[in-house]
Structure 1
Amino acid sequence: MLSGLRKRTKTILWITAGAFVGMMVFAWGMDITGRRSRSFSRTIGEVNGRSISVQEFQRMLQRAYLQYKQETGQEPDQRNLVRETWERLVTELVLGDELRRRGIVTTDLEVVQFLLANPPDFARRYKVFQDSSGNFDVKRYRSFLTNPSTFQDPMAKSLVLYMEDWARSVIPFWKLRQEVLAGVKVSDPEVWERYRAEHERVKVRYVQVPFRDIPDSLVGVGKEEMLGYYQAHREEFWRGRRARLLYVAFPKVPTRSDSLVALEEAEDLARRARAGEDFAELARDYSDDPGSARKGGDLGYFRRGQMVKEFEEVAFELKPGEVSDPVLTRFGWHIIKVEDRKDGQVRARHILVKVEPGEDTLDSLYSEAQGLLEEAEEVGDLRKAAEARGLKVEDTGFFGEGTFVPGIGSAGALASFAFQDEVGALRSYEGDDAYYVVQLVDRREAGVRPFEEVEGTVKMRVELEKRKKLAEGRLKPLLEMLSQGMGLKEAAEKLGFEVEETEEFTREGYIPGVGGRNSFVEAAFTLKEPGESSGIVTTGRAAYILELIKRTPADTEEFRRKKEEIRRKILAQRRQEVYTAWIEGLKKRARIKDQRYRFYQF
């Protein structure tokens, strides 16, 4: 039994060793600023006064890298790894502070009880805890933990100690979560409301006056009106801090030399395929098309018109068993092998060799970017340095806090730089598609946007309010006739309105042309008896009057059968929402200083 445990432990060691090279590339390749030696002597941030060194964060990154590599067998996205590791670290630190504040500790008895009741996921993968079918056997697991002989084998003992350490690290947070969620409950009325929202149905007829039908000539807006609206709704025009960057992009575009390198690789693969090597194996090992590579390059059957023209022309010329010369499309170089032809279709496999910037191309672009950065730092002006080189300077315009930078895309490091560094600061940044040299040129603090900036928005809002009132006015004669006992169809016909009908819908449903989860839906479910009509109801697109045609109540018998299942679902969702919101509240109140942008690309 224990030999399997030793074997598995040995395998994990080999996986760890195999990932070492990738981990080192990750560790040494994060920063392109050329300032690595300074970076590793500084802190990357603080949480509630607790400093986080670059070395500590780097160790966490390396552990996260190895874990991802072991679990998936793939390389992680390094930018995502930086973001996720930081969020995890901040969360752990603020929760640790909360544990100390509440005095939550773990006893030895709690460790034993917790391990017996909650086998760790990693333990379930050990063969020593599995039955003959490879399924986790909880009896074997508990016997292993409670058998005194377990501690006589060094390998088994080390596993138990490892699980104990794991339990001691998990239990305090589990107890904290239980304390936070102790008051979260779901009442019977809440369960019924959820079920009813999903199962009670109504069908209505209605008359509408779309706002777009109101002529523009009737909704003219003067400057005084707009200023009055702006003053009355100033809080709606509040915005957070804004920053503005200038940047020069050096796109990672492959050169002719890169294309020739890819062509040579494709020609070599074509020769190997013709020489008898298994085409499917070559595709699995070398194709840059992940979708088909897993299937040995198999594209299945296809007709003319389903593939890009260059690929298709060659594929339909080949005979079954033939391998093509490399074919260039916008995706790269393809080697095609036709497997079969029938009914005007071709079944083929392919190997894709993408044309990507090579190391020399990327080194050249990087050197250009660094050269511009150094010149810009000398003169203190990116635009001046770029113009001297004949390079185009782009402007992001003002943007808000987050991870998105206009013109560049998702770039958390640049967004952090924009809101934390000094105006005038310069830096370089490597994106997926380009190298960038960036200068922070302006920043505005949070506040109400000036009227001049929002004048267009104010004008549209005032016009919309006028359209609503005019649309409601057009429906008032109809409302008066309904109040006198006339039905919607008859009254609408007399006044020249078109009557429309919905299909049956629920409170959670969507109504074509009307929308969902709006005042129309709310009004429909206030109607109790067929023939009952609503008052005037407005949404963002029209004013309406509704009349109930049919109401189908929720099935109370089915509700009784499903009541506890629904309660469990609501409770699980609510507990997750409450705990997430509570953690976010802790982080918002915490004193967090984030300096990742100085050291990492993310």
Structure 2
Amino acid sequence: RDVIPRSKLLRQVSSGIYVSDAELWQEFRDQVEQVEIRYVPMDPSVRYEDEAFSVSDTEIEDYYGSNQEEFEVPARASLKAVVLDKTPTATDTAAAYAEAQELMQEIREGGDFAEIAQAESADQPTASVGGDLGVFSRGRMVPQFDSVVFATTPGQLAGPVQTSFGLHVIEVQERWSQDSVKARHILVPITRTDESEIQLLTLADSLEDLGEEMALDQAASLAGLTSTELDIAQNFPFLPGAGQVSEGADWAFEEASPGDVSPVFETSTAFYSLELVSSEPEGILPIEDAKTAIESTLLFDAKMNQAQIDAQELVALVRGGSVLSNAAADLALDVRMAGPFSRRDFVAGIGRQNAAVGAAFGLGIGDVSEVVPTPANVYVIEVLTRTDADSTAWLTQLTEQRQSAISIRQQARLGEWIEALRASADISDRRDVVLAPVDEDAIPQMPMLF
């Protein structure tokens, strides 16, 4: 029922998208055109010793002053943390196994597999068709499932088989060859039992109550838990065992004072509580702490400059009539081969979609480039072979290519629209009202009638 509204939204958001033939031709060329090259990498980081260059304090100070944005540090907080993992326990796993084995026993005693799958399987798409997986070939399923299926005689039950999805009760129905079977399954998820869930929630509540009265490590000890110490950055609040803890970070950086203990927060994988030990606001890294990094950067810049000078000498020899490989040997430089590769390929020793790749596709067969600097290296390139795009082949697939390109741009436009909507949304936090305890002595109010 929601397919039509989604399609309408996509049409509205992505209206006006047009992809020209020129764009599609270039995309086609990027995919199919290939070159094979001989190249000389200068490898400045390896070729030149640090001692061959010097960096003065004045250069360091000038760089620091001109590149302050490189030394911005986010706000940081030192915390104590207690994490309650939501992962099912060994007892929960045993309960899931017991459930799966009960289902197998029910089927062995005459129960209808399809009816049981419809009623019990957690795999909703297949549950609706009696657990039917259809016909599939060897290697299509996850390894644990696959190996059991192809070792089971048709008409037999197998399992429970544990995979990342849960526990599977499997019936192999038919086999046409050693590499193709028809099977059905019942998925029993490994989740916390009601009792286990209540124990976890009770423990989280106890931790929160204790945290209101004492330090977090004391509260953790009384609850039979352990606390850890860690630092988090405001721009990347990650807590091992709990993942991204944005809610806890908001508390630590915007509400808490040193010594405060947070309420218990929740992520998809855990409950957690924090104690703020100390915090530091965002700022600029002092030059004393940045000096080593700046010196390394300036040394590399000096090596890159020298590499371009030496590469220019190599180009001059080639322009004077020498063959690239011979000129490189005269200067004790390595010559390497690469390709064939396209504009979009990752090229070992060169990288992906950088100036060196672009230069290679701008040369004719037998041509040698000028000096080609990239952020990490300097190259001189010779093209050995090239395969150009076939316009006839392009026209043959143009309709499908255009549809695919428009679909990709539609999805990108929709993503941008959703992000813009989130950024402009005016969200009111009313948790204090919604979650406020009910006053049992209050007189119930009749709802207003309209």
Structure 2: state its 5+ residue gaps: 436-450
Matches of 1:587 and 1:328 in 2, distance apart?
A: 39
Q: Which has the higher contact order (CA 8 A, sep 6+)?
A: 2
Structure 1 residues 243 and 177, CA gap change in structure 2 (3 angstroms) = farther
Task: Please list the CA deviations of residues 483-510 of structure 1 after superposition, one character each: whole Å capped at 9, or x if unmatched.
Answer: 3232313322433434334335454444
Report the secondary structure of 1:426's partner residue: coil
**In the alignment, which of 198, 208, 211 is matched to residue 363 of structure 1?**
198
Structure 1 residues 593 and 480, CA gap change in structure 2 (3 angstroms) = same
Task: Please list the CA deviations of residues 434-469 of structure 1 after superposition, one character each: whole Å capped at 9, or x if unmatched.
Answer: 221234555544433334665665455345334434
Matches of 1:548 and 1:564 in 2, distance apart?
A: 33
Matched, 1:213 2:46: yes
1:153-302 aligned within 5 A: 202-211=35-44, 213-214=46-47, 218=51, 224=57, 229-243=63-77, 245-255=79-89, 257-288=91-122, 295-296=131-132
Structure 1 residues 586 and 353, CA gap change in structure 2 (3 angstroms) = closer
Structure 1: state its 5+ residue gaps: 1-69, 73-120, 125-165
Measured after TM superposition, the shift of residue 373 of structure 1 is 1.5
Measured after TM superposition, the shift of residue 546 of structure 1 is 1.3
Matches of 2:106 and 2:344 in 1, distance apart?
A: 59
Structure 1 residues 278 and 410, CA gap change in structure 2 (3 angstroms) = farther
Report the secondary structure of 1:502's partner residue: strand
Measured after TM superposition, the shift of residue 400 of structure 1 is 3.3
Matches of 1:571 and 1:326 in 2, distance apart?
A: 45
Structure 1 residues 497 and 216, CA gap change in structure 2 (3 angstroms) = closer
Matches of 1:196 and 1:463 in 2, distance apart?
A: 39
Paired residues of 2:242 and 2:271 also in contact (CA < 8 A)? no
Matches of 2:391 and 2:180 in 1, distance apart?
A: 56
Task: Please list the CA deviations of residues 462-482 of structure 1 after superposition, one character each: whole Å capped at 9, or x if unmatched.
Answer: 453344345445534423312
Matches of 1:349 and 1:177 in 2, distance apart?
A: 41
Paired residues of 2:344 and 2:353 also in contact (CA < 8 A)? yes
Matches of 1:452 and 1:338 in 2, distance apart?
A: 69
1:83-94 aligned within 5 A: none
Paired residues of 1:245 and 1:439 also in contact (CA < 8 A)? yes
- The aligned counterpart of 1:546 is 381
Paired residues of 1:411 and 1:431 also in contact (CA < 8 A)? yes
Measured after TM superposition, the shift of residue 516 of structure 1 is 1.9
- The aligned counterpart of 1:535 is 370
Paired residues of 2:204 and 2:264 also in contact (CA < 8 A)? yes
Report the secondary structure of 2:367's partner residue: coil
Measured after TM superposition, the shift of residue 517 of structure 1 is 1.5
Matched, 1:448 2:284: yes
Matched, 1:478 2:293: no
**Which structure's residues are more often helix, by fraction?**
1
Report the secondary structure of 2:349's partner residue: coil
Matches of 2:287 and 2:93 in 1, distance apart?
A: 53
- How many residue pairs match? The answer is 425
Matched, 1:524 2:360: yes
Report the secondary structure of 2:82's partner residue: strand
Measured after TM superposition, the shift of residue 248 of structure 1 is 0.6
Paired residues of 2:40 and 2:336 also in contact (CA < 8 A)? yes
1:198-597 aligned within 5 A: 202-211=35-44, 213-214=46-47, 218=51, 224=57, 229-243=63-77, 245-255=79-89, 257-288=91-122, 295-296=131-132, 308=144, 320-323=154-157, 335-337=169-171, 339=173, 350-379=185-214, 381-387=215-221, 389=223, 391-401=225-235, 407-423=241-257, 424=260, 426-451=262-287, 454=290, 457-458=293-294, 460-472=296-308, 474-527=310-363, 529-550=364-385, 592=426, 595=429
Report the secondary structure of 1:368's partner residue: helix
Matches of 1:196 and 1:331 in 2, distance apart?
A: 42
Matches of 2:176 and 2:406 in 1, distance apart?
A: 56
The amino acid across from 2:225 in the alignment is L
Paired residues of 1:533 and 1:545 also in contact (CA < 8 A)? yes
TM-score, structure 1 length as denominator? Answer: 0.55
CA RMSD of aligned residues (A): 5.2
Structure 1 residues 456 and 274, CA gap change in structure 2 (3 angstroms) = farther
Task: Please list the CA deviations of residues 117-160 of structure 1 after superposition, one character each: whole Å capped at 9, or x if unmatched.
Answer: xxxx3699xxxxxxxxxxxxxxxxxxxxxxxxxxxxxxxxxxxx
The amino acid across from 2:38 in the alignment is R
TM-score, structure 2 length as denominator? Answer: 0.69
Identity %: 28
Paired residues of 2:360 and 2:383 also in contact (CA < 8 A)? yes
Structure 1 residues 599 and 514, CA gap change in structure 2 (3 angstroms) = farther
